[in-house]
């Protein structure tokens, strides 16, 4: 079996959620099939500037073929077009221009997909919202499997994604909430789909004392891992935590791991360690009492899965359907909708508290049951087998004509998403 | 305040969240959702509650807006005012014809009324002037009151926060204490790093078992040592042993200090002794993260 993994960026040093997800899947599937990664030369997800050379290389035993991005992203233009399609009535042509503006626009990658269509059994497209997935899935119709990594943001509500979600051979969802959202916006229940998610490279042994000594972490602490950004809910987290420190002078400290886009408050109980190696990250996670996930938008939190793998409870933002659903389904943590719930949950989850260890244990069991690599690989392979057996061919949905594409009659994408019922899927 | 109830090895997150919400309701009195809080914020309730919203520049505002009030025009009205003129001939003619005028109507009441009105006007103006001066005083008073209300409001707010903080700390300590107690209660007893020697048949109690009536409390450690079968210390070494025991107790207490972790222990010492101390501390319910891998925890 030969499989192509198509993703917007790829590299050992890229830690973005979808890109890391793609790399893990490519490396794991390469044990069962011939895998080739088709990607761009971009390294930065904001500019999509070509930073890697065009051509082929091997990363961790996986062949990677890179194609140039035809033009970097114009941030102002993208912002303007986003406002137009998200908040106003617009045309299909506006959406296509938005997709071009978002990038990474790489016509040579799409041309290559047309060319090698018959060389591969399946093409796994990661991140539905980008140029490569939308154009690529059309280029290899009948062989495209989508890993949408979709969050509850307005982009999912764009009309042009409906045919994509309905036209691929199968969809590998990250969570039940993601599947409910995509089913809601595109009515694609007939497309084979399975909730898979992704595993993680959990070290066999961690050394929490080592990271405590290295960073002089003397007190018990909660850890946040990820980009320190307002969009990730960090501002609210800082507000809540500063209030918590006033009320609980002997409570937990907060340790932040990741690059800071947002200014970290100068507070004696908040420590920002910056971007750490995987070894340090896992040691810090093992040393922490709990992991905090304040992000209101997530399709799947790999860090939360890693915390559960290490038996640590997770305190999640209750506004994020996916995180809340995972926390409830796993019984591996708590969630908060207000400051009071945040403070109470922090107390409940700390190491010397009554339930933190029990929830951590249940989270670890949840991880083993659903996110162990053996489970993930099995689900992918089962899906490939199923699709191979199912020889039914589908025809792509007819594409609107020149005039129809310019009719401004599509509803604002935000309204489309808002109309889809929200909330965690508990059953 | 109720503690978190965990009755089984497996816990249900939704049940815990219900307990947390109940606790929040108990603490706050009212359980507002974020949406409800947003609704309340839209009413700008804070404008009325926030002491910073009270205007403290009333006097300046008043002085800026107070019009420069000149005395209103008035007139003097006497009996002969209606005949007055600067022309002498005309004045003479009016006086000559006055009887004829009085024959037609009586101007006297009109003159008196206007005279009174003139006096009323003057009186009113005087009162108005006094009222304006009083207004200034009232505004000064209101200003001072506003300042005092603001100060009191801030003080009340601070005291409330302090009381809340103290209450939370007390609650936190109490619950932490209970949690630690429960951990100690349900942990199986673990062997100490250096177990005490097995009890053995005691020799007949030495005479020192019965303290002399004059023995001081400081001699108690020496007596207990004698009970354990060890040689009672010489009088000269007694205080030294007591000091050692006290120092050991102090060290143990330092080890058990809340918030201290394995990192502290390792920072202070290294190797097996530190691990042994940490193991002791964990057995006593202290906070410590395990360094075992996921499969070993």
Query: Is residue B8 very low, low, confident or very high in pLDDT (cuts 50, 70, 90)?
Result: very low
CB-CB neighbours of B164 under 10 Å: 13
| Segment B226-250, tens digit of pLDDT | 333 333 444 444 455 656 667 776 6
Q: Which of A220, A211, A209 shows the shortest CA–CA distance to A349?
A: A220
How far apart (Å, rounded) are the C-alpha atoms in residues A288 and A223?
6
Contact between B20 and A209 using a beta-carbon 8 Å cutoff: no
Say which of B17, B172, B297 has its CB closest to residue A334.
B17
Q: Taking the mean position of all CA atoms in its chain, how far away is CA A266? A: 30
Count of structural domains within chain A: 2
Give yes or no for residue B19 having a pLDDT over 50: yes
> Would you say residue B207 has pLDDT above 50?
no
Report which of residues A176 and B185 the model is more confident about.
Answer: A176
Q: Which residues contact A134 (CB under 8 A, 6 or more apart)?
A: A99, A128, A160, A161, A164
Contacts of A220 in chain B (CB under 8 A): 259, 261, 287
Final residue of a structural domain among A335, A350, A370: A370
Chain B residues with CB-CB distance to A248 below 8 A: 168-169, 172
Give the dihedral sign, CA A174/A180/A184/A188: positive
Q: Examine the pLDDT at B280 and tell me if it is beyond 90.
A: no
Shortest CA gap B203–chain A (Å): 45
Same domain? For A115 and A218 the reply is no
Average pLDDT value over all residues in chain A = 90
Q: Are A281 and A257 in contact (CB under 8 A)?
A: yes
- Is A272 part of any domain? yes
Closest CA of chain A from B257, distance in Å: 11
- Co-location of A101 and A158 in the same domain: yes
Residue B212: predicted pLDDT = 38
Bond into A104 cis (ω within 30): yes
In a domain, residue A427? The reply is no
Over residues B150-155, mean pLDDT: 78
- Name the pLDDT band for A354 (thresholds 50, 70, 90): low
Decide if A36 contacts A69 (C-beta within 8 A).
no
Does B297 have pLDDT greater than 60? no
Q: Do B290 and A340 touch (CB under 8 A)?
A: no
> Among the listed ranges A4-8, A215-219, A357-361, B43-47, which one has the minimum average pLDDT value?
B43-47
The verdict on A411 and A361 lying in the same domain is: no
Interface contact flag, B291 A206, Cβ < 8 Å: yes
Nearest CA in chain A to B262: A209
**Backbone conformation region of residue B55, classed left if phi is above 0, alpha if psi is from -120 to 50, else beta:** beta
Q: Are residues A402 and A378 part of one domain?
A: yes
Searching chain A, which residue's CA lies closest to the CA of residue B161? A247
Give the closest of A309, A331, A362 to B294, CB-based: A309
A157 with A10, same domain: the answer is yes
Residue B66 confidence class, pLDDT cut points 50, 70, 90: low
Average the pLDDT over each of A54-58, A95-99, A269-273, B127-131 and give the range with the smallest value: B127-131
pLDDT over 70 for what percent of chain B? 44
Handedness of CA B147, B148, B154, B155 (dihedral sign): positive
Q: A240-275 b/e with 16+ CB inside 10 Å = b?
A: bbeebbebbeebbbbbbbbeeebeeeeeebbbbbee
- Residues in chain B closer than 8 A to A236 (CB atoms): none
Q: What is the pLDDT of residue A390?
A: 83
Q: Give the minimum alpha-carbon distance from A353 to chain B in angstroms, rounded to a whole number.
A: 6
Q: Do A206 and B293 touch (CB under 8 A)?
A: yes
Mean pLDDT confidence for A297-304: 84
Q: Which residues of A touch B293 (CB under 8 A)?
A: 203-206
Give the Cα separation of A401 and A420 in Å (integer).
28
Q: What angle do CA B296, A364, A336 make, to 5 degrees?
A: 135
Whether residue B20 and residue A288 make contact (CB cut-off 8 A), yes or no, is no
Asked whether residue A65 is domain-assigned, the answer is yes
Q: If DSSP codes are grouped into helix, strand and coil, which group holds residue B213?
A: coil
Chain A contact set for B165 (CB, 8 A): 246-247
Are residues A259 and A191 part of one domain?
no
Give B-chain residues touching A205 at CB under 8 angstroms.
292-293, 296
Which is higher by pLDDT, B174 or A112?
A: A112
State whether B172 and A248 contact (CB < 8 Å): yes
Q: Which of A222-231, A258-267, B60-69 has the lowest mean pLDDT?
A: B60-69
**DSSP β-ladder status, A253-257 and A221-225:** parallel
**Across A218-232, A399-413, B179-193, B232-246, least confident range:** B232-246
Answer yes or no: do A350 and B261 touch at CB < 8 A.
Answer: no
Instruction: Let me know whether A218 and A175 are in one domain.
Output: no
Average pLDDT in the A268-273 region? 93
Residues A155 and A22 in one domain: yes
Determine the residue of chain A that is closest to B278 in CA distance.
A209
Residue A351's pLDDT band, with cuts at 50, 70 and 90, is: low
Closest residue of chain A to B285, computed from CA coordinates: A352
Give the model's pLDDT for residue B164: 82
Q: Is the pLDDT of residue A113 over 90?
A: yes
Pairwise CB contact (< 8 Å): B286 & A344: no
One domain for residues A134 and A244:
no
> Any idea which residue has 């497209």 for tokens?
A125
* pLDDT number for residue B287: 38
Specify if A67 maps to a domain: yes
**A109 and A71, same structural domain?**
yes
Q: Say whether B24 and A364 touch across the interface (CB within 8 A).
A: no
Query: Do A149 and A216 fall into the same domain?
Result: no
CB contact under 8 A, A212 and B292: no
Q: Is the dihedral of CA B155, B160, B161, B163 positive or negative?
A: positive
Distances in whole angstroms, Cα of residue A358 to Cα of each of A243, B183, B197, B257: 27, 13, 37, 24
Judging by beta carbons within 10 Å of its beta carbon (0-12, 13-18, 19+), is residue A181 exposed, middle or buried? buried
| pLDDT value of position B42 | 54
Task: Tell me which residue of A126, A157, A254, A147 sits closest to A193, measured CA to CA.
Answer: A147
Domain span including residue A213: 208-370
Q: Which long-range contacts (CB under 8 A, 24 or more apart) does A189-196 make?
A: A190/A166, A191/A165, A191/A166, A192/A383, A192/A386, A192/A387, A192/A390, A194/A170, A194/A379, A194/A382, A194/A383, A196/A172, A196/A376, A196/A379, A196/A380
Contact B289 A289 (CB under 8 A): yes
Contact A319, B6 (CB under 8 A): no
pLDDT at B231: 39
Give the minimum alpha-carbon distance from B60 to chain A in angstroms, rounded to a whole number: 37
Residues A26, A122, single domain; the answer is yes
Q: Would residue A399 count as lying in a domain?
A: yes
Say if residues A379 and A196 touch (Cβ distance below 8 Å): yes
**Do the Cβ atoms of A289 and B287 come within 8 Å?**
yes
Q: Is the model more confident about B198 or about A314?
A: A314
Strand bridging mode A170-173 / A253-257: unpaired
Residues in chain A with CB shorter than 8 Å from the CB of B176 are: 250, 352-353
Q: Over the stretch A168-204, which tens digit does the pLDDT of each residue have?
A: 999 999 888 899 999 999 999 889 999 988 888 888 8
Q: Does residue A6 have a pLDDT over 90?
A: yes
pLDDT of the residue at A95: 95
Candidate from A94-98, A370-374, B71-75 with smallest mean pLDDT: B71-75
Query: Which structure tokens are listed for A17?
Result: 């959620």
A216 belongs to a structural domain:
yes
Instruction: Kindly report which listed range (A37-41, A234-238, A380-384, B160-164) carries the lowest average pLDDT score.
Output: B160-164
Its ipTM equals 0.76
How far is B289 from A210, CA to CA, in rounded Å? 12
Q: Work out the mean pLDDT of chain B and round it to a whole number.
A: 63
Residue B252: CB atoms within 10 Å: 13
- Interface touch B11/A358, C-beta < 8 Å: yes
Q: Is residue A426 part of a domain?
A: no
Question: What CATH number did the domain enclosing A247 receive?
Answer: 3.40.50.2000
Nearest residue of A to residue B38 by CA position?
Answer: A338
Would you say residue A424 lies in a domain?
no
Q: How far apart are CA A52 and CA A106, in angstroms?
A: 14
Instruction: Tell me what pLDDT residue B188 has.
Output: 60
Q: Residue A204 and residue B27: Cβ atoms within 8 Å?
A: no
Give the highest mean pLDDT range of A224-233, A343-352, B37-46, B83-92: A224-233
Nearest to B11 among A287, A350, A359 (CB): A359
A154 versus B68: which is more confidently predicted?
A154
């Amino acid at each position: 079996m030969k499989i192509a993994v198509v993703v917007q960026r790829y590299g050992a040093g890229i830690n973005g959620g979808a890109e890391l997800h793609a790399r893990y899947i490519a490396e794991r599937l390469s044990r069962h099939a011939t895998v080739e990664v088709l990607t761009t030369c971009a390294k930065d997800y904001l500019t999509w500037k070509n930073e890697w050379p065009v051509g082929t290389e091997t990363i961790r035993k996986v062949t990677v073929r890179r194609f140039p991005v035809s033009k970097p992203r114009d941030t102002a233009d993208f912002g303007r077009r986003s406002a137009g399609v998200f908040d106003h009535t617009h045309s299909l042509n506006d959406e296509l221009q938005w997709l071009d503006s978002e990038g990474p626009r790489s016509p040579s990658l799409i041309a290559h997909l047309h060319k090698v269509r018959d060389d591969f059994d399946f093409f796994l497209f990661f991140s539905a919202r980008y140029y490569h997935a939308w154009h690529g899935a059309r280029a290899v119709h009948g062989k495209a499997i989508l890993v949408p990594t979709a969050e509850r943001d307005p982009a999912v509500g764009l009309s042009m994604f409906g045919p994509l979600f309905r036209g691929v051979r199968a969809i590998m969802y990250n969570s039940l909430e993601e599947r409910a959202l995509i089913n809601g916006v595109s009515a694609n229940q007939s497309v084979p789909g399975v909730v898979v998610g992704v595993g993680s490279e959990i070290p066999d042994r961690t050394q929490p004392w080592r990271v405590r000594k290295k960073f002089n972490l003397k007190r018990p602490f909660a850890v946040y891992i990820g980009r320190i950004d307002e969009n990730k809910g960090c501002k609210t987290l800082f507000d809540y935590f500063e209030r918590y420190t006033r009320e609980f002078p002997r409570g937990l400290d907060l340790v932040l791991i990741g690059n800071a886009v947002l200014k970290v408050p100068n507070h004696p109980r908040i420590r920002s360690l910056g971007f750490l190696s995987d070894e340090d990250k896992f040691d810090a996670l093992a040393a922490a009492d709990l992991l905090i996930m304040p992000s209101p938008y997530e399709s799947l939190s790999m860090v939360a899965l890693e915390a559960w793998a290490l038996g640590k409870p997770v305190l999640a933002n209750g506004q994020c359907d996916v995180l809340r659903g995972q926390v409830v389904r796993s019984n591996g943590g708590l969630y908060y909708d207000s400051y009071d719930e945040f403070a109470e949950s922090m107390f409940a989850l700390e190491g010397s508290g009554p339930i933190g260890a029990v929830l951590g244990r249940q989270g670890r069991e949840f991880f083993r049951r659903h996110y162990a690599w053996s489970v993930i690989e099995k689900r992918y392979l089962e899906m490939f087998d199923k699709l191979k057996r199912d020889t039914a061919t589908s025809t792509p949905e007819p594409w609107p004509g020149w005039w129809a594409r310019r009719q401004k009659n599509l509803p604002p994408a935000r309204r489309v998403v808002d109309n889809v019922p929200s909330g965690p899927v508990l059953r | 305040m109720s503690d978190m109830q965990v009755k089984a090895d497996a816990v249900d997150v939704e049940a815990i969240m219900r307990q947390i919400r109940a606790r929040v309701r108990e603490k706050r009195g009212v359980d507002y959702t974020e949406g409800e809080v947003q609704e309340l914020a839209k009413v700008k309730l804070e404008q009325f509650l926030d002491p910073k919203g009270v205007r403290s520049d009333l006097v300046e505002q008043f002085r800026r807006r107070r019009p420069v009030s000149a005395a209103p025009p008035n007139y003097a009205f006497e009996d002969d005012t209606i005949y007055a003129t600067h022309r002498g001939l005309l004045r003479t003619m009016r006086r000559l014809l006055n009887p004829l005028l009085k024959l037609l109507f009586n101007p006297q009441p009109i003159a008196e009324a206007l005279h009174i009105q003139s006096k009323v006007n003057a009186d009113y103006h005087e009162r108005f002037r006094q009222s304006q001066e009083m207004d200034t005083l009232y505004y000064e008073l209101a200003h001072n009151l506003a300042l005092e209300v603001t100060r009191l409001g801030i003080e009340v707010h601070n005291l409330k926060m302090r009381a809340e903080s103290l209450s939370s700390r007390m609650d936190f300590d109490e619950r932490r204490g209970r949690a630690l107690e429960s951990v100690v209660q349900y942990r199986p007893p673990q062997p100490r790093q250096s177990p005490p020697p097995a009890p053995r048949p005691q020799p007949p109690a030495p005479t020192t078992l019965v303290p002399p009536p004059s023995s001081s409390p400081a001699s108690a450690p020496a007596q207990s040592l004698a009970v354990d079968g060890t040689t009672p210390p010489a009088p000269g070494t007694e205080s030294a042993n007591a000091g050692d025991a006290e120092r050991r107790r102090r060290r143990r207490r330092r080890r058990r200090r809340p918030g201290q972790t394995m990192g502290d222990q390792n920072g202070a010492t290294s190797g097996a002794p530190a691990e042994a101390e940490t193991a002791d501390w964990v057995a006593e319910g202290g906070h410590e993260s395990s360094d075992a891998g996921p499969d070993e925890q």
